[in-house]
Chain A
């Protein structure tokens, strides 16, 4: 970064840092906490030893899960001096080509041999390796490497890495949003420093974090969230500097209609009277009920803490006498009520701040990526955008976006609507062995993008909007006939 480009400290791993562990194409987000076990690829690791090292250092995982920095270049060197056969003609598949047994390999491991050394042993003891084609040798080494190499690289998190991580490990948590699709969304929405961007997502906060990264702490991001609490565990993984969080606001969507109607009361309630003007929505009431509403249910699964609380409560109630239980319940009720009041006030302030940002209906961008039907979400939130501002809607499926498109064409107020997806393929580039990777992602989801314009209800003839979709449709019908 320009502001402290020569300061090395930001390039070093510190205690408390959010980091990403990497082995091959496998990523995992973690935090550097001393003496705390982290599971990575079925192994326990302690990250303590990483502190002080530079990011992108590769560590060998020692016995007991401790990390030891690997000498650079060791990893990169080609494993075996290759003596390739020209074809596989003499290879007979009898399952007897490997002289090392499973037990032999376990023994080598116990002797403390490193992954790379084990692989070399495997090669030396393979009767067919030298006869295999280079292509087949390479495949063999890769397979074994994956199995026996025992290293981890520690990376500084970024949108690129976290997006790849989520898509690779837990696509269900990010609605199967592929990283290149996210890239399209950020660009098509013109997300940049200094703007005011609305985000509605159920992608664990990945999309929210991506937007925040692109804004670099300048401007405002308003998370429009469903249910009782904004959910964004993924934002933490970005490890943003604390001032980034100053630009983050949140607003529960269950108050969107009230806000649009001008009936939302976000003023502090007088604790003595406890009343609000009748036509206005009572914030406390609605916040309290929101938590219990149907709406919230789908979230519960993801929201570990609240689900846990509920189940703990239920089990502790079960084995007590009625009286004692009653008393306890009263106490807890009291404590909870107090706690709730504090939370409520905090929430009220937050909501008031977000409402203030939204009221002008002059947001600069809208990004939607959720498991909800995108059509009502889009139509509802579009109202907060200034004219001539881009919006993007992601959906894992095309059909709901077709509906969005149709609906937007009906109601007007948008131009440049486009429904797209992207096709992504990676390549192996090696001398004489260049080809696309044999597997690719089946799909990265769909994006509907567009730009808002001032709404005008008098539709003139010969206008671009009237002229736009009709001729194509007509043409298609003709060729159909």
Chain B
């Protein structure tokens, strides 16, 4: 047991810190550090800057831009990005479809998609959830029917995050209605500019538009865009959702948000009850971060450690708790969420109510906290 980083890891961290704080576009970092939303173009520019330095997809196979880092190095890379306000590479690309294609894709698919995926030349969307298939994903009803070499896709996906920016969508479809639920599912890559694809915005309770419905109406998809085997979609989905949980615990970002909130709070931080709430949250965040490091230390061969569910569950709870503290510190100023920048209410305070509401999603999407409890109970505790 040892707390200190090895000399090698410490040097690695310094290297990351130096790059992120001196070479990455400053204006993007400033926006992130101020808690503001990035535009489409800023997200793309950020990922390209990382990719140019070889830092966008370090966990991919080295052949496709990976770095062969240890899990600890990957953690340090991620932590230093968050500390510097560097936006993480788009999860749909870097953490979801990229690893999936690298693992399950044909050579042709890899060559066609992976470089553009790393560079965010293609913006991927995720087409998994449906109105009647959320936590119970296996009951999905979007169909793909063979027509010659092509597939004809019909159905509806929902909760497609940032689908309005999507160029392509990786989609779970039912290719065989006869077999048992999971076995009839395949993964298709669909060009979102095809005829019959329609993206409709969903307004969320924070007033924002970050998720969408995606409708498929007789969309004709070439047969070579099926990933892996026909009927193998469920296996791929499990692989992908497992990947998704690693690094999903938003520790670094939450830590920075809390640190920033302390600055914003000014004399409100003199209140002993506020200080106690902050101290309690800081302690839990420290415990969570150390747990992430312990999980990293124990995870083997890319398989997600079951304790990933602990990270997701507790990570989202703490993220939500910090947003509640911010709301409480903003007080009546939080009503001014719709006011413009001329408002005498500071920006951080105006953003608190939408953020509080928006983050309620964190415990629902990407495997709800009930699903995480189920995984812990079954997989770890054997219940």
- Does A associate with B in a complex? no
Report which B residues bind A (CB closer than 8 A): none
Report which A residues bind B (CB closer than 8 A): none
